[in-house]
Structure formats: C-alpha cells, structure tokens
Structure 1
Amino acid sequence: MSVRLKLFIGPAVPLPAPPEVLDALVSASVTSASADAPGVFQLVFELDQRSPLNLLFLVSGGASIPLVRVVIAAQVNGRETVLIDGVSTNHALSAGESPGTTRLTVTGEDLSRVLDYIELPDLRYPAMPDFARVALIVAKYAFLGIIPKVIPSILLDVPLPTGTIPQQQGTDLKYIQKLADDVGYIFMMQPGPAVGMSFAYWGPDLRVGEVQPALSFDMDAHRNVESATGSVDTQKAKLPIVVIQNPETKVPIPIPAVANPVLNPPLGLVPPIPLQVERITGSAKHNPVQAALIGMAKATRSQVGYSKVSGKVNPLRYGRLLEPHKLVGLQGAGPAYDGLHYVEKVTTSFSEGDVSQDFELTRNGVLSTVPKVAA
C-alpha cells in the first residue's frame, strides 16, 4: 500500500508544484469544511535561505499577492482524492532545524474565503427567489472552477419588483450564509472531484447516501482505528417553535417542529430528548406549510452532534482516505457507538511519507439501528 501527496500552486490557476518544492515539504495538514467553518490547510517547508520558494510566496520582501491558489490532493492505493482547493492567507518564517535553513509555514482556507473579500451592500436582485440569488452570486467565480450546487428552498415565492426588491447585505459569503440560515440550509465548499474544480453547495444538511467501509476499533488484525473516544451531549438537542399568524385574527399560533426523517434519518436507535425550546424568529410571514418545513430543517440541525465519536484512523490499513460528509460504519467501539455515523470532519496529516487522519463522527442517537456494518 502506498500514499502520494500532490500539490498544485499558482496565482489563480493551480499548476503542479515542481520537484524541488515537494522535496522541501516537511509536513502538510488539511481539515475539511463543515457547515460552521471553512476547510483549512497548512504546509510546512524546510528551505535554504536562497530558495526560490521564498519568491513564490513573496514572503522574502514581506509582500503578499491577492490570490495564491493551493490545491492539495492525495493518492492512496491508486485512488486520488482532492482534499482542498483554496487560497493562502498567511505566511510565516522561522528558523529551520539545520544551520542555514528556514521554515516556511503557509496556511490558508478553501475558496469560500474568496467570496468574503469584497462587500457589495448596494447590489439588488429584483424578482429573484433566494436560491436564484445564490446561483447568480456563485456564478461570478466560475473562473476559479467553482460550480454552483444549489438546491431550491421551499420558499418559492418571487418578490414583486413593485413591492420589495431583495438587497444584498455584506459580502457574497455572508449574504449566502444568511439566506441559508433563513431556511435552515447550509453552505460549504466541496473540493473536486478533479483538480481545479469545487462545488459551492447551498442546500439542506443531507445525511444520507453512500456508506464508506467500516472503521474497526479493537478488532485485532482488522483494526484500522488507532484511537477512539465517544461522548453524548444531552443538552444539545432543542425543540424549535415556529410561530405563524392567523391572517384574519392576527393571533400568533406556535407550532413545535420535529426533525425531517428524510434529511436526517435516525442513525441511532435512541434519539435525544429536547430539553430546551428555541423560538424561530421571522416565521410569521410564511404560510403554515413553509413555516413547518423551515422548522423541520432547523430541528434537524439542532440534533447534529448529539452523539459524537472522535479518533484517529490509519488510511494505509483502512485502504483508502476517509471522506467527510458521508456515512461510515463503526465497529468495535461498544454497543452505544457501533453502527452508522455521519463523518462530520476529517483532518488529514502528511509527514515523511506517512499519512494519518483525525476524524469526528456524529449521529442523532445512541445504539445502532443496523445489526451489522459493511467491512
């Protein structure tokens, strides 16, 4: 089994890094994006003080350029995965371990960072529903290989130009995130599948689909998980309350919302009991069906992370890289945590020809709903 790191760097267009750059690379780490945070990366180089890599990132003169694109991919057992497509945000120099050398540390974020550069507070979108606005905003970044993956929300009402004209608030990123939060959606960058491509996903927090091979803990020769720790947060679950208004009497009507079983199927046999009530503001302007669907989407988000498993997997023993935002089986961790989980976040680390992954799995209950997971 083998692992190979691939690095692409360039001003706006990423090109394969030359061999001398890869030779200078000491370590690399990539943390996948989540609904609440962008993907981030860090590259550490050991350089001769006259290395051209200093000029590549323009740190020797203390200058910086607006857009240095960095793509990190990995090939494990012939299977290539794009881990992140982003831009560098910070460069730091320190003394190297050997005399006459320096350490260059480059950190950055995924391409959602580019959407946060410029604020356009006066931009208006006449007669456009929310999902159309998101698609139009993202389309501006096609030159970076960003492809909109927009799922229409249930709020299909089109504002009439004679009434209200939607106006952008803040940067492209902040406005897209606000539109997502209004309907219980999420927004994140999904790198790949090819180098130079990324999907800008705006839609429901789907926790269904392909199930990856099982992570095995305490399974003797079949073990591929080096460590694992489970926890249950009994205070996290909330019961969203949607308040609608009777158009004739103007009397507010509170409606409890439950999680959507289609978006967030029960992966745990015993679900959480909501101990808190969360009132959803701004729901009175919607009809009962729209308000209920928004409440279901937000109730789904409130159960995320109720049951959590954190650990470290060896990709060489696992046979592939663990991919975030997909389902995975877990076995050997005990009755409370065995079964199917959602891969919330993965940090992939490379050093001296070795690779390891720290993972965070979540699900909406304890005890398994399936008798066995696929190996």
Structure 2
Amino acid sequence: MLFSNAYLTLMIGPAVAVPAPLPVMEALQSVQVTNSRDRSGFQLTFAVGKTSPLQLGLLPAGYFDPITTRVIITVTLNGIPNVIMDGFITRQDLQPSNEPGQSTLTVTGDDLTVAMDLLEIAIPYPAIPDVAQVNLILAKYAFLGIIPLVIPPFIPTVQSPTSSFDSQTGSDLDHIRGLAQRNGFVFYIQPGPLPGQSIAYFGPDLNVPVPQSALSINLDAHTNVESLSFSLNGMQKRLDITNVLDPATGRIPIPVPMPDINIFKPPLGARPHPPAKVTFNRDSAGLELTEALRQMVARGIQSSSAVTANGSLDVARYGQMLRGRSLVGVRGAGVTYDGLYYVDSVTHNLKRGEYKQNFTLSRDGLISNTPAVMP
C-alpha cells in the first residue's frame, strides 16, 4: 500500500505472519509505530462496517486476537525495504459509530519483548556469568527469529555457588533488564534486517557514529522539519559518589566521585551543563571490590542528557527515514542549539498519502563542538 512516497507491507497472522489479504489492506486507515530505547510498540486502525469482511469473518475467527497474532510492518523508501516493527498484538478496540463509515477497529501491540514477559519462573544460575545467563534465556526465543548480540560486561564477576548465586524470580524480560541495569547496559530487540528476523542487543548504549541528514529549521527553502523545540533541564545532571572499602583493611570507606559522563557517548556540546545534584550510592556498602567497581562503572555510563529536543517532520520533504539510536545534525536553531544530537525515539505515523515522524533528541550540553553540520 502506498503512503506518500513510501510503500507499506503488512504481514499478520497467528504465530506466523503472512502478507495481509486485500480486504485488510483496503480497510487499513493509519499505522503508528514508536521505536524507543527499551521497548517499541505499534497501533493499526481499520475501517469496519456492518458488511465488512473484518466484521463478519476475520474478527470473530480470531484474526486479530491478542498475544497469538504476530505483526510485521515493513516500509520501502527509495527502493530500500526497512522493517520498522515485529511484534504481537496485545489489545483490540472496536468503536462502532452511528455515522456511516466511521466505525473503526484499532489493534495495539508491542515488539517481541512481550513474548519474554508472559511467564514468571524461578530458576537458579549458580556460577553462571551474566553473559551466559542472557544467552541461555535468549536461546528459548530462537523460533521467533531472534538472533542474540550479547556484549560481555567490562568487569565480569562470578559468584561462588557455596556463598551466593543469581536467581531468576520473575519473567525472562525482567531478569535480562535487571542484568543490563547492574552492568550499565541496555537491552532491546531491533527488528530486521529481513522480515521475520530480529536482533536482541545486550550491551552498552552505543550510537551509530555516522550522522544522518541534518534536520533544518528556519532556513527558508532548505527547511525540512515541520516543528522543532528545545529545552534545557538544569536539574538533570548529577554527580554520583560511591563509597569503596579500602582493599588493605576492608573497613575504611573511600568516597569516589563518578561524573555524569558516558564513555560510549562522546560529548556533543562544547559547553556541557554542570551537575546540579550530588547523590550517594549506598548500595555499594559492604560489597567486594570487584562488585563495587562494577556498580561504579554501571552508574558512570548511565549518563543523563540536560538538553532535549522534540519535533516532527514529513518524510517526503526530509528525503529519508529518520532512525533512532543514532546521530543527527541540527541547523538553523542558532548557535546555542545547533550541532549533533542523539536520536532517542522516533514515532512513525502513516496515513494514506502521508508519512510523518515525531522524534526526540538529546545531548549533554550547549553549543556545537563541530565547526559545521553537513546537510
């Protein structure tokens, strides 16, 4: 189906997604896909009538049933297919209307992480490092086409099973996210590159170093965004202090300050905003040196951004699809806010004859540290 200059392909079905039949594509009114750091979701809106095949056949037959119905959304832009969503329906809403042609069916869903959050189990992991635990859990979801990409922690620790060991008491998703948090990592599932395939990433929050085409505002004919606004939160940055017991006696606490700087996200502002808050990590009290160091590294690379930006664009005018978890340049906003930013989240909004995106950007400070931003 053609949406502006993009061609949309919808695959849907119980367990195995197949190309949607013609009545489904004809009834499709809008598509919304949100890609964020941790979890992504989608929403499909269909027009339904009293004699609609969706109302008479597909809906009562369970074609849109939650949990069991898989949805894959692919957008072909400039001849290149891009899988923007692979997940399961979690909710359906039918809205009948007294006005002819105004009844709608809306299905909402999440990415494949929803399959990892359905069952809570209790299982021990004696003498098993974090990276092995993640791989063991992800191996259960290979039938969904999930390929694991697991980065080992910087300070690996293995507990003795005679003293203590890790145990899982919740869902697989909760356990993996807990492991990611204590190592300063992120975990998410990236759909693609082919329909039915996904990459489960467990590792540091890296960003693609090659910037995308610049977002231009207030540049007359060169303007390619519809709106763009910036904000500076003076309370966002912090200075974290961790008490580490001296290795000689193991009794004297040594305060070690950890600046709010992420080694995997180089500074993008020439004037970084200073931290306004000082926090103390009391969870490190009584820990061994290696465990305390791991907590320090984890908290150190979970930096926050003081400068954020929100905006919207028309993909036809921008010329390409804006991607999340990467870099993008900004022009025309003035000396203070021009420069490179990280793309935190992107929402795709597709309607007939229209393809727009809402986005959220962030960086650590003001004033660009690059002499120019390439268009």
User: Do both proteins adopt the same fold according to a TM-score greater than 0.5, normalized to the shorter chain?
Assistant: yes
2:260–2:275 CA contact under 8 A, matched in 1: no
- Equivalent residue, structure 2, for 1:188: 188
- Equivalent residue, structure 2, for 1:20: 23
Deviates more, 1:14-23 or 1:229-238: 14-23
Query: Deviation per CA, 1:106-162, whole angstroms, max 9, x where unpaired?
Result: 0111111111100012x1122211121011111111111111121111231222333
2:67–2:90 CA contact under 8 A, matched in 1: no
- Equivalent residue, structure 2, for 1:136: 136
- Equivalent residue, structure 1, for 2:165: 165
Deviates more, 1:160-169 or 1:197-206: 160-169
Q: 1:93 to 1:154 in 2, by over 3 A?
A: same
The structural deviation recorded for 1:322 is 0.2
- Equivalent residue, structure 1, for 2:221: 221
1:212 aligned onto 2:215: no
Task: Give the Cα separation in 1 of the matches to 2:241 and 2:98.
Answer: 58
Q: 1:288 to 1:127 in 2, by over 3 A?
A: closer
Cα RMSD (Å): 2.3
- Equivalent residue, structure 2, for 1:251: 252
- Equivalent residue, structure 1, for 2:96: 95
1:49–1:100 CA contact under 8 A, matched in 2: no
Task: Give the Cα separation in 1 of the matches to 2:369 and 2:283.
Answer: 36
- Equivalent residue, structure 1, for 2:280: 279
Q: 1:296 to 1:128 in 2, by over 3 A?
A: closer
The structural deviation recorded for 1:48 is 2.9
Task: Give the Cα separation in 1 of the matches to 2:110 and 2:327.
Answer: 24
Q: 1:23 to 1:210 in 2, by over 3 A?
A: same
Amino acid at match of 1:159: Q
State how 1:31-42 maps to structure 2 within 5 Å: 31-35=34-38, 38-42=39-43
Query: Deviation per CA, 1:38-86, whole angstroms, max 9, x where unpaired?
Result: 2111100002334343477645889945421111121122122111111
- Equivalent residue, structure 1, for 2:113: 112
The structural deviation recorded for 1:213 is 1.1
Q: Find the residue that maps to 1:264 and give its secondary structure.
A: coil
Report the count of equivalent residues. 371
Task: Give the Cα separation in 1 of the matches to 2:233 and 2:60.
Answer: 44
Q: 1:79 to 1:100 in 2, by over 3 A?
A: closer
1:9 aligned onto 2:9: no
Q: Find the residue that maps to 1:42 and give its secondary structure.
A: strand
Q: 1:65 to 1:315 in 2, by over 3 A?
A: closer
2:182–2:298 CA contact under 8 A, matched in 1: no
The structural deviation recorded for 1:341 is 0.4
The structural deviation recorded for 1:292 is 4.6
Query: Deviation per CA, 1:182-202, whole angstroms, max 9, x where unpaired?
Result: 121111221111111121221
1:33–1:188 CA contact under 8 A, matched in 2: no
Query: Deviation per CA, 1:9-64, whole angstroms, max 9, x where unpaired?
Result: 111221111222111101110110224xx211110000233434347764588994
Q: Find the residue that maps to 1:40 and give its secondary structure.
A: strand
1:340–1:368 CA contact under 8 A, matched in 2: yes
Amino acid at match of 2:184: G
Task: Give the Cα separation in 2 of the matches to 1:309 and 1:227.
Answer: 10
1:326 aligned onto 2:326: yes
The structural deviation recorded for 1:317 is 1.2
Deviates more, 1:13-22 or 1:112-121: 13-22
The structural deviation recorded for 1:93 is 0.5
Q: 1:118 to 1:54 in 2, by over 3 A?
A: farther
State how 1:270-309 maps to structure 2 within 5 Å: 270-284=271-285, 291-292=292-293, 294-304=295-305, 306-309=306-309
TM-score by length of 1: 0.92
Task: Give the Cα separation in 2 of the matches to 1:201 and 1:320.
Answer: 25
Task: Give the Cα separation in 1 of the matches to 2:52 and 2:31.
Answer: 19
TM-score by length of 2: 0.92
Query: Deviation per CA, 1:187-222, whole angstroms, max 9, x where unpaired?
Result: 122111111112122111223522111111112222
Q: 1:262 to 1:249 in 2, by over 3 A?
A: closer
1:236–1:302 CA contact under 8 A, matched in 2: no
- Equivalent residue, structure 2, for 1:81: 82
Task: Give the Cα separation in 2 of the matches to 1:281 and 1:109.
Answer: 35
Unaligned residue ranges in structure 2 (runs of 5+) = none
The structural deviation recorded for 1:354 is 0.8
State how 1:140-155 maps to structure 2 within 5 Å: 140-155=140-155
Deviates more, 1:340-349 or 1:209-218: 209-218
Unaligned residue ranges in structure 1 (runs of 5+) = none
Task: Give the Cα separation in 2 of the matches to 1:85 and 1:128.
Answer: 31
Q: Find the residue that maps to 1:225 and give its secondary structure.
A: coil
Task: Give the Cα separation in 1 of the matches to 2:67 and 2:314.
Answer: 37
Q: 1:351 to 1:260 in 2, by over 3 A?
A: same
Q: 1:135 to 1:282 in 2, by over 3 A?
A: farther
